[in-house]
Amino acid sequence: MAPLEPSVGLVIMLILTSAWAWGEESSKLPPDTPQTHGKTLSRRSLNYPLGKEKEPECDIGEYLHPNKTHCCMRCHAGTYLVGHCRSRKEVPDCKVCPNGTYTDVHNTVPKCFRCSQCGPKNQITVSECTAKRNTVCGCRDKEYLSGPSCRKCSSCPNGTIVQQCEKDRDSICHCHNGFFLERNNCYPCNSCNTETCRESCEKAIRVHTVVSPEADLIICLISLVVAFGIGIPLLLLAVKWIRRIRKDGPSHIFYSCVSVQQPTKEQIPEAMNNKIKTAVFPVEYTQKETLTVTAVEMPVSKATDSQELPDCVGPAGKAQLPNNPDVLYTVVDHVPPFRWKEFVRRLGLSDYEIEQIEMEQRRVRDAHYEMLKQWRLKKGRGATVECISCVLNQMELSGCSEAIQEALPRRP
């Protein structure tokens, strides 16, 4: 039994030596490097079978070469692929599409696509085919594209167009009351023979019945607003006018100048001498009030700027017309406005003076007052009541002359 002891110790030593050697070999590799039957495997070889490597990843606009060794650029729009690139740094062989063909994107196709043809179904060519774009087909005016063919846009007879016809959509119609919509056309309800159109017609009748009273009410309200808006102001004006008549009396609103026929330099027919000339016009008139004049036709002596002035315009030896606004306005109010310019021309004012005063004074009555005042300053002592009466008699307005002479003493 003694000879076995050395052999056991030798075996133990051999085991320890082998373990140490194996530990030294393992320490030379990275800690996460796997081993298989003593052969080191890389990370790349773990994901693929033995002898195969990962395919390269291509960027946008590139494609993988058929050999799967590198990436090539795609051909641009308008070209097609003839030959692949030999390496990633080289450009593939691409050629331009021949006439009648196209490619509209980056591609790797071996030949271009044939251009489309327009016309078989009422289509028209909007733009011709190019190497980079296919033919663009469309429809004529007032037509829309429905599938592959063009159709006429609906005109919505017996209805209104809610939305106009577009390139790829028909008009949208809304039928009038008493019509129903079918295939985008409006048909009368009396021709309805389906349940769907009956519902549409009944609904339209209900809506019309509900809306009609509201429409009538709106029209009635509008009529009342218009009536009150116009009637009330007119009523107020009428009341104001009636109160003014009652307060002032009719004699302060209208008066008449009755002219007795006066001899003139021109021969006047006897039949005209027997007529009574009456001019009725308002005494008080403002810029806002409308001047109302009613006159019986009467012969008027012609007066021009070159006509000789009356004899009374010179110094009359009478008292000068006082510079009193009440007196001057009395004369203004008793001379018919439609003959005022003739009156002041006969007194001696020029057309320039008349127009100048009219531009300065907007109110007619004030303008007449300023003209009479200008004449008084211009003539001095010759501006007398007798001169005014003389001119009025020549104008065949002796009634107005008498009214002025009667009214002046009553004024202070």
Q: Using alpha carbons, select from 376, 321, 318 the residue that is nearest to residue 344.
A: 376
Per the structure block, which two tokens stand in for 26?
């393992």
Q: Assess if residue 281 is contained within a domain.
A: yes
Dihedral through CA 206, CA 211, CA 212, CA 218, nearest 10? 170
Helix %, strand %, coil % of the chain (to 5): 40, 20, 40
Same domain? 289 vs 380: yes
Q: Using alpha carbons, select from 264, 288, 373, 287 the residue that is nearest to residue 329.
A: 373
Dist CA 381 CA 404 (whole Å): 19
SS3 295: strand
Q: Assess if residue 232 is contained within a domain.
A: no
The sign of the CA dihedral 359, 360, 366, 367 is negative
Dihedral through CA 101, CA 103, CA 107, CA 113, nearest 10? -40
Q: Which amino acid is at 330?
A: T
Which DSSP letter does residue 76 get? P
Say how many domains are in the chain: 3
pLDDT at 199: 81
Which DSSP letter does residue 78 get? T
User: Do residues 313 and 379 touch, judged by C-beta distance below 8 A?
Assistant: yes
- DSSP codes, 131-180: SSSPPEEE--TTEEEETTEEEEPP--TTEEEEE--BTTB--EEEEPTTEE
Same domain? 287 vs 395: yes
Q: What is the CATH number of the domain that holds 186?
A: 2.10.50.10
Same domain? 399 vs 258: yes
Q: Assess if residue 314 is contained within a domain.
A: yes
Dist CA 262 CA 54 (whole Å): 135
Same domain? 297 vs 168: no
Same domain? 95 vs 169: no
pLDDT at 209: 46
pTM: 0.35
Cα Rg of the chain, angstroms? 58
Per-residue pLDDT of the chain (412 residues; tens, 9 = 90+): 444 455 676 777 778 777 777 665 555 544 444 443 333 444 444 444 444 567 888 999 999 999 999 999 999 999 999 999 998 878 899 999 999 999 999 999 999 999 998 876 788 899 999 999 999 988 988 899 888 788 899 989 888 999 999 988 899 998 998 898 888 889 898 888 888 888 878 776 555 444 455 667 788 888 888 888 888 888 888 887 787 666 544 433 334 454 444 444 444 444 444 443 333 334 344 333 333 333 333 443 333 343 444 444 444 346 678 888 888 898 999 899 999 999 999 999 999 999 999 999 889 999 999 999 999 898 888 888 888 989 999 998 888 888 888 887 654 4
| Domain extent for 315 | 254-410
Same domain? 173 vs 312: no
Dist CA 368 CA 328 (whole Å): 9
Q: Assess if residue 206 is contained within a domain.
A: no
Per the structure block, which two tokens stand in for 332?
């203004």
